Structure 1
Amino acid sequence: MAAVRWSRPGTWLLLSLLAAPLLRVVVSLEPITTGLAIAAASALTGYLSSPKFYCGRLVECCQVDKPFNGTALELSLKEKLFGQHLAHEIIYKALTGFMSNENPKKPLALSLHGWSGTGKNFVSKIIAENIYDLGMRSKFVHLFLSTLHFPHNSQIPRYKDQLQSWIRGNTSKCARSIFIFDEMDKLHPGLIDAIKPFLDYYEHIDGVSYRKAIFIFLSNAGGDLINRLMLQFWDSGKTREDLELKDVENVLSVELFNNKNSGFWHSGLIEKNLIDYFVPFLPLEFRHVKKCVLAELRLRGFHEDETLASQVAQEMTYLPKERKLFSDKGCKTVSTKLDFML
């Protein structure tokens, strides 16, 4: 239980107040009964003071060794993520394997790439929800937005210091911290290398282990490359399900390394192979957008309406213009268009 952080000032005062009614009864009982009552009171106090009672009921705890439910993760991906067979397989296997490893050699680093609306943010949300009950609202899940947290090119040295301090401080409090970097394609070149030491194969850095942390990078960079590969597969008579990770991952990492607008330009994270998986998110077709509409209807408590779902999906714009194969916004505006239809 040493891995569970739950002690707070005033905890024992609260526990004493909870157990006090039972203890008051003890003084009016016979000796034998008194002994039993004292034992019961002791057991109650022990239960109330245990992390099992305290965590989740009173505060959110960092439970590093909490068993991971891979079945629940796979179900979430199946029900909520559409048209992304590669992302589904990679995220499920990578996260399940990492979470079940009691002594990983390095943190898990996932870089998610594709057009807007294809499910990158959605997947990061699913990951957070399957590790912490509060999901993205958990105090152990940290989201960085490039345009919000690192807006000025002139402040890069300051941002690097702040970023290292934030990661060091939060991981020292909870080894199972999750760090999500959104808008990587808008991040200033070189800034992300500030976190390189935390992703490497070090057992400890200044007494802190980062090996159980999770780093997730979200980016539109590489989306055009992924879409070109999809078109090539389409033109060769293959389906999107025929696309394998080996067809995309290497060319994607090279593209990001050489692209000044990727956030990974000449990055040591790529050069030293510290990113475990470059996860491609494929452009969505009409049938996938329709599934997004049906899922949104379920979420709002409506019955699934195939006709309405088709109408909303038809309101989307598709590329290339002459072929109209892929939704240019994925499922990003489904909710807004559904509002209009309803």
Structure 2
Amino acid sequence: MSDQDSSTSASQTEGEVEGEMDEEVDTELDGEVDRDETLRDSSLVSLSSFSSSLHAVIRIKQKYRAMKKRRQELALLGLGADGNPAGAPSKTSPKIFTFDGLTPFSSTLSRSSLSSSVPQKKKRRRRKGVLYPNRGRRRAPPKQEQSRAKYCLYLLFAIVFVQVYNAIENLDDHVLRYDLEGLEKTLRREVFGQQGAVDGLLSHLKDYLSTYVHNKPLVVSLHGPSGVGKSHLGRLLAGHFRSVVGETLVLQYYVLHHCPQEADVLRCARDLTALISEMVERAEEEEKIPLFIFDEAEHMHAEILDALLQLVASKQSNEYLNAVYLLLSNLGHAHVTKNMLHNSSSISTSNLVKELTPILRNSLEKLHPLWTEADVLPLGLLEKSHVMECFLDEMTREGFYPDHTNIERLAGEVEHYPEVGGHEYSKTGCKQVVAKVNLL
């Protein structure tokens, strides 16, 4: 009886559980149907939400069948509907359906079914807005890869710039060594009435002394009448170069003093050549440019002129090319005097050099080929005002009071050419100034 009762109670319990599960499923199905009808009546449901609800109902039914099949298998193995052995007191469940007795699986199932039955909005990815540049700014062009060869080009430019800069600095240093600015101030202060010749001489010196490498020596020939300041200009140049390059690199050669006898001309030419060679070699060692001044060049013999021509020729070695030769003479003074007396109304100091240079060159080249290698500069006649400046300078040097009346009286004693075009030129220039001042 006990076995029958237990089987009967087990069958009853199983029937009750099945009834309860059927009721739960029917309730859920009815709830789903009612919910679907309510959603259909309340608003229009899209085709996608209806299909999802239908799929949820089908899944619930499949799970119910799986659970029912599992209970049958447990019953065949001799276990109760709740998983306990047969004969064990079974748990009673309330007649009213609640969520307390549901397993986690069933609660999860119900929640998933509910959540799947409610249509959910798909989350859309928020796209990042496109950033546009400001209207005031231009759109930056795409960057292009730079070639590495550009850096080599920049380096080459820098090297060339440094080399050029150093060359310019070296030129400036070479010019500063000779103090040409000081020489210019001295000549303009102490040489009167020869503005054009002074400008031409300074221009030749600046161009030549700006570098140490030359293809020929500088030869300048100054020509003019007696007393116009040729020897005075030579003494000023000699004194200045002695102060910048040294006493041993400056030579003042007076033909009537160094070679007074005509019989000694060949020996004088050899001695002059040896002296110049020794000086240029010494200057080459010191990297300086020597100065050779030949005063009263009109008395120089042909042998001495030939020796100078061989020294200034461009075929000589480098040390002979770095030298300055200054020739002072009154050759061609007749052309200077005639030109100034006939054109005194139209000629000026600046135009004197341009007009007389070709005339003097033609006459000098006929005398000797040496002047073909020289730059010719003419010195014009001095006016009475220039002679008065010579007296003022000499009296100041000797310590006399510079009385203007006395200076004008002394200048009047000097012989002058007849006044032409408002100019009164002196025949002897400033040659008699020193002698007259010494008589005071």
TM-score by length of 1: 0.70
Partner of 2:438: 339
Which whole-Å CA distance do the structure 2 matches of 1:183 and 1:304 have between them? Answer: 32
Q: Distance in 1 between matches of 2:430 and 2:404?
A: 16
Query: Paired residue for 1:210?
Result: 320
1:307 is matched with which residue? 405
Mean CA deviation greater in 125-134 or 85-94: 125-134
What is the CA–CA distance in structure 2 between the aligned matches of 1:298 and 1:99, rounded to whole Å? 34
Counterparts of 1:160-239 in structure 2, within 5 Å, are 160-175=269-284, 176-202=289-315, 204=317, 209-234=319-344, 237-239=345-347
2:220 aligns to what? 110
Equivalent positions of 1:64-143 (< 5 A) are 67-133=177-243, 138-143=247-252
In structure 1, the partner of 2:417 is 319
**Aligned length, in residue pairs:** 263
After superposition, the Cα gap between the structure-2 partners of 1:279 and 1:242, relative to the gap in structure 1 and judged at 3 Å, is: closer
Deviations 1:83-140 (A, max 9, x none): 11221111111112222223222211111111121111111122223322289x9232
Residue 354 of structure 2 is aligned to residue 246 of structure 1? yes
1:285 alignment counterpart: 383
Structure 1's 322 and 244: CA in aligned 2 closer, same or farther, altered over 3 A? closer
Shift in alpha-carbon separation, 1:302–1:212, aligned structure 2, 3 A:
farther
Runs (4+) of structure 1 exceeding 6 A deviation are 63-66, 321-324
Moved more, 239-248 or 183-192: 239-248
Instruction: State the match for 2:254 in structure 1.
Output: 145
Q: 1:202 to 1:95 in 2, by over 3 A?
A: same
The percentage of counterpart residues that share the same residue type is: 26
Alignment partners' CA distance in 2, 1:181 and 1:216? 6
Residue 379 (structure 2) pairs with residue 269 (structure 1): no
Alpha carbons 2:174, 2:209 under 8 Å: kept: no
Change (3 A) 1:97 1:302: farther
Give the aligned partner of residue 55 of structure 1: none
Q: Return the alpha-carbon distance in structure 1 between the equivalents of residues 373 and 232 of structure 2.
A: 23
The separation in 2 between residues aligned to 1:320 and 1:193, in whole angstroms, is 41
Which has the larger displacement, 288-297 or 154-163? 154-163
For 1:288, give the aligned amino acid: H
Structure 1: how far apart are the matches of 2:411 and 2:211?
A: 42
Contact 1:64 1:174 in 2 (8 A): no
> Structure 1 pair 156/302, CA: closer, same or farther in 2 (3 Å)?
closer
Unmatched tracts of structure 2, length 5 or more:
1-172
What's the CA shift for 1:151? 2.9
How big is the shift at 1:322?
Answer: 9.7
Larger relative strand fraction: 1
Q: TM-score under structure 2 normalisation? A: 0.55
| 1:79 Cα deviation after fit | 0.6
For 2:418 and 2:303, how far apart are their aligned partners in 1?
A: 34
Give the structure with the larger helix fraction. 2
Tell me, in whole angstroms, the C-alpha distance in 2 between the residues paired with 1:248 and 1:214.
Answer: 23
Query: What letter matches 1:200 in structure 2?
Result: A
Tell me the distance in 2 between the aligned counterparts of 1:299 and 1:139: 28
8 A Cα contact 2:175 2:210, kept in partner: no
CA contact (8 A) 1:110 1:215 kept: yes
Check if 1:329 corresponds to 2:428. yes
CA RMSD of aligned residues (A): 2.7
1:232-266 CA distances to partner (integer Å, 9 max, x unpaired)?
211xx2143253422111110222233xxxxxx2x
Deviation string, structure 1 residues 26-83 (Cα, Å, up to 9, x no partner): xxxxxxxxxxxxxxxxxxxxxxxxxxxxxxxxxxxxx988622222112111110111
Query: Residue 116 of structure 1 contacts residue 332 of structure 1 at CA under 8 Å; is this kept in 2?
Result: yes
Unaligned runs of 5+ residues in structure 1 are: 1-62, 259-264
Q: In 2, distance between residues paired with 1:292 and 1:106?
A: 37
